[in-house]
Structure 1
């Protein structure tokens, strides 16, 4: 299914920008994630993805497998966050509720401590992490 939500997700995360990622979402989307409060609406999501990608340019995700129908999608993927000369790799599963081919709700499941441990091993990431995690809407 070339126009499937999951295929568009895979393409957007291959070389992500905030705009590519937000284009997958409804205006009233709600994103749930273990390390942050829920994000509500495309504008808030755009800010969050912009902050993440500004802190860790070169971030991408590799899709392993997916399952979808017209109402929901499950995507297993591995996030890659640049760190030193390599990457912090974090397995994740996203569950989406779909509406007209766009995500209305997303819940992501991953071990947030893998990200935290990866950041701890790379002191050069510490200032950016503090700004990203605790600094509000700026980077």
Structure 2
């Protein structure tokens, strides 16, 4: 009886290895994972830039002189880039949040629908960010 058990071929177990830091560039993350990570990054970006936004709001509302100071600050190219980053962060966070809320209702949980909705979030975010950049830098 023990000989019969020994003679059966032993199945090879799959080997799972931890991903090393050097392997991260070779790892292909699905679009849904990219959107999830960008959702977290955009939330952190909006939180970290909150003091800048509150300062600009304070400068724009205090008086006419501080509004003129606000206009000088807002016309600087670095400030425009920060405002563009905030617009990207808000758009990304909003669109991904709506996607997650829809998925919380158990709609679009299969692999194909999740990939399509993640791609839609990235495309909408990119289009809105480009339009805001064009308006912000005076193209139209």
**Which structure has the higher relative contact order (CA within 8 Å, separation 6+)?**
2
* Higher Rg: 2
Which interval holds the TM-score relative to the shorter structure? Answer: under 0.3
Q: Larger strand proportion, structure 1 or 2?
A: 1
